[in-house]
Amino acid sequence: MKKNQFNSEDHLYLQVADGLEKMIAGEVLRIGDKLPSVRVLSEEYGISMGTAFQAYYHLEGRGLIESRPKSGYYVRFNHQRFPQLPDQVKPDALSHDVSVKEMIASIYADIAAKDVINFALGVPDPSLLPAAKINKSVVYALRNSKDHCIGYEHTQGNLELRQQVAKLSFNWGGKIKPEEVIITSGCLEAVMMCLKAVTNHGDTVAVECPTYFGIYQSIENLGLKVVEIQADPVDGLDLDALQKAIKKFPIKACVAVPNFNNPLGTCMSDENKKKLVEIITKNNIPLIEDDTYGELHFGKNRPKACKVYDTKGLVMYCASLSKSLAPGYRIGWALPGKFFEQVKQIKRIQNISSPSLTQAAMAHYLKNGRYEYHLKNLRKALHTQSLRYMQALIEYFPADTKISRPTGGFTFWIELNKKVDSFKLRTEAMKHKISIVPGKIFSASIDYSNYIRLSFGKPWSDDADYGLMMLGKIIKKLT
C-alpha cells in the first residue's frame, strides 16, 4: 500500500486503517511492534497528519493498537491469532484443609538453581530496578539515622517510612495517616499477620482462586480452612459466588487480590470493588486486600483499592515494595483498620520489628529517589515485555493454548491442552534448565493440572526466546 492507492468512496483514514489491519492480520506487523510515527505515516501514504491520526484512533478504538505516552503506537492485538482466554473453573463448594507443601518446596528448590531460564519467579528482574539510587539511600540512612540504625526500630515501623506509605495511598484513592500503618517484612507477612489477627485455629476463610500459593500456605500455617471463590480472567473475583459461600459457611475473613491478581493479572472494576466492600461490611467479615501489584498497571491510571470504600475499618490493606522496587529489602505494610492493635501485637511477638536500616533506606528513597519516575519506566518495560512474550507464546505454543490478558503485573495464566500435566511439563522443562510454575499449586481444590503460570518479569532476550520455543516444543510432545 503506497501513495495514491486509495479509492475515493471510503473515508481516507478508514482505508489506511484497513490496510494496517490487514498487515497485522498477516503478521507483517506483529504484536508488540512499533508503528510508524504519525508524521512518517502521513508522508509515506501521502495523507495529511490529521488523517494519519484518525487512522490510528480508529485502530486504537478497535483495540488493535495502543498508544504509549511519549513513545508512539504499538500493535496490541491480532484477531486471527490472539489466543482464547483460559476457562474459569468453579471450585467445589466445600471447605478444605490446604496441602500443597511438598509441591511448593520442590519448586522453590529449583528456583535457587543456577543457569535456569526462569519463567517461575514472581518478581520483576533486578535490571529493571534502580539499584544505584537505592544504594545512595542506604548510605544516607547509615549516616543520618539515630544510632546508625544499629538499635531496634519501633514495632510499628520507621515513622518516615510510614509517612511515605501514607503519601503513596493517595495514588489508590486513600487518605491514610502514618499512625494507621504497620511496617512488615514483605506483603506476605502483612497478609499472614492480618489473617492471624482476625481468626482462630480451625476457622474458615474465603480466598480468591486461583491465587498466589503463598497465601494458601499462610492459611495452612495458621490452621485455617479455606473456601475458594472463583475469579474470572476478565472481571476478577466472582461476587455472586462469594455471597453464596458466605451464606453456606461460617466465614471469618476474606482474602482477595483485586488489582492484577497473581496469576491472572486481572483488575476488578471500581464498581465491583465497592460491591465487594458492601458485601463484607454487611456480613461483618474482615477483608484482607493484597494490593502488592497495584502499582504495576499498564493502563494510564493506578487502580483504586477496596480500602477506599471501607467505612467500618473492616478492610485490612496489605502491600509492599517487593514487586516494584526492592524484593530483597523485605518491606511491606498493613493498614489493618480496626484491627490495628491486634496486628501490631502479632508483629511484635513474631519478630519484634523489621530491620532499622532497610526501613530507613526505603523511607529516604521514597522521599528523594523519584519513585514515581522509576515506576513509569518499570510499567512501560513490563507492558512491552508482556506484548513481546505474548507474541512468542502465540508463535511457539500450540494453537489450542489459552492465555490470560494481564492489564498489569508480570504473569500470564496459561491453560494448555487437557492432556498436558503441568507437573510433568515442569520436570521436562527443568531438564532443559527452563523453569515454570504448575497451575495446580494456585488452588486447594481446583484441578489446574493443565495450567501454568509464566512470568514475563525478565526483559526479552535470546534466552527468553529460546526458553519459550523449547517450552512450546515440550508441550507439543506432551499432547
Separation of alpha carbons 91 and 112, rounded Å = 32
Q: Least distance to a second copy from the beta carbon of 375, Å? A: 15
Tell me whether residue 224 or residue 425 sits nearer to a second copy (CB atom): 224
Task: Give me the DSSP letters along 242-296.
Answer: HHHHHHHS-EEEEEE--BS-TTT--B--HHHHHHHHHHHHHTT--EEEE-TTTT-
Residue 370 sits at φ, ψ, to 5 deg, of: 60, 55
Pairing of strands 117-118, 434-435: parallel
Tell me whether residue 385 or residue 407 sits nearer to a second copy (CB atom): 385
How deeply is 459 buried, as exposed, middle or buried, from its count of CB atoms within 10 A (0-12, 13-18, 19+)? middle
For 229, the 3-state DSSP assignment is: strand
Q: Least distance to a second copy from the beta carbon of 344, Å? A: 8
Q: Least distance to a second copy from the beta carbon of 153, Å? A: 6
Tell me whether residue 169 or residue 353 sits nearer to a second copy (CB atom): 353
Q: Which of the 8 DSSP states describes residue 90?
A: P
Tell me whether residue 73 or residue 212 sits nearer to a second copy (CB atom): 212
Q: Least distance to a second copy from the beta carbon of 264, Å? A: 21
Q: Least distance to a second copy from the beta carbon of 345, Å? A: 6
- Close Cβ partners of 22 (under 8 Å, ≥ 6 residues apart): none
Tell me whether residue 46 or residue 223 sits nearer to a second copy (CB atom): 223
Tell me whether residue 29 or residue 193 sits nearer to a second copy (CB atom): 193
Tell me whether residue 96 or residue 275 sits nearer to a second copy (CB atom): 96
- Taking each helix axis from N to C terminus, what angle separates 462-478 and 371-396, rounded to the nearest 10 degrees? 40
Separation of alpha carbons 325 and 168, rounded Å = 13
Interface with a second copy (CB under 8 A):
101, 105, 108, 112, 121, 123, 126, 129, 131-132, 134-135, 138-139, 142-143, 147-155, 185-186, 188-189, 192, 196, 201-202, 214, 217-218, 220-221, 223, 326-330, 341, 345-346, 348-358, 361
Closest to 32 measured CA to CA, from 390, 309, 275, 332: 390
Separation of alpha carbons 227 and 248, rounded Å = 10
Q: Least distance to a second copy from the beta carbon of 211, Å? A: 15
Separation of alpha carbons 155 and 158, rounded Å = 9
- Close Cβ partners of 301 (under 8 Å, ≥ 6 residues apart): none
Separation of alpha carbons 361 and 138, rounded Å = 5
Q: Least distance to a second copy from the beta carbon of 159, Å? A: 11
Q: Least distance to a second copy from the beta carbon of 340, Å? A: 12
Q: Least distance to a second copy from the beta carbon of 36, Å? A: 37
Tell me whether residue 348 or residue 433 sits nearer to a second copy (CB atom): 348
Report in angstroms the alpha-carbon separations of 284 from 23, 271, 314, 375: 55, 20, 8, 36
CB 332 within 8 A of CB 190: yes
Which ranges of 151-210 does DSSP label H, i.e. alpha helix?
159-168, 187-198
- Close Cβ partners of 26 (under 8 Å, ≥ 6 residues apart): none
Separation of alpha carbons 352 and 127, rounded Å = 33
Q: Least distance to a second copy from the beta carbon of 189, Å? A: 5
Tell me whether residue 17 or residue 193 sits nearer to a second copy (CB atom): 193
Q: Least distance to a second copy from the beta carbon of 193, Å? A: 9
Tell me whether residue 49 or residue 349 sits nearer to a second copy (CB atom): 349
Tell me whether residue 243 or residue 345 sits nearer to a second copy (CB atom): 345
